[in-house]
Amino acid sequence: MLLHWRRLVEERSVSNLGADEAVGPESEVKRSQAQVQELERLLGKKTLGNEILKEALELARPKKTNVAARLAAQGWFPVKAVAAALGVARSNLVP
């Protein structure tokens, strides 16, 4: 086992040799770091998209009742379901 460790150290393929840390190949550590960076980038994009959609919803809120009324009038969906999905009062949708 000692020879195995020595070979790994000599090849410089081992990192994190601290007492409290797991030992692993540097390539695996770098791959994990790259994956974390990519996930952070994707999370940032999703967060920005979520903020944009929240703002758009606030701008469209006055029109939401009109859209819900039109959907309910078409009769494709139950009025209760339309009201719940769009967050409007059923009393606004019934003629």
Predicted confidence (pLDDT) per residue in 28-86, tens digit: 888 999 999 999 999 998 998 888 878 777 777 678 888 888 888 888 888 888 888 88
pTM: 0.41
CA distance 26 to 44: 27
CB atoms within 10 A of CB 87: 11
How many domains does the chain contain in total? 1
pLDDT bucket at 17, cuts 50 / 70 / 90: low
Of 30, 29, 37, 92, give the one whose Cα is nearest residue 65: 92
CA distance 25 to 14: 5
Domain that holds residue 44: 12-92
Strand ranges inside the chain, DSSP E: 14-15, 24-25
In a domain, 3, yes or no: no
In a domain, 1, yes or no: no
**83, 86, 88, 89 alpha-carbon torsion, rounded to 10°:** 10
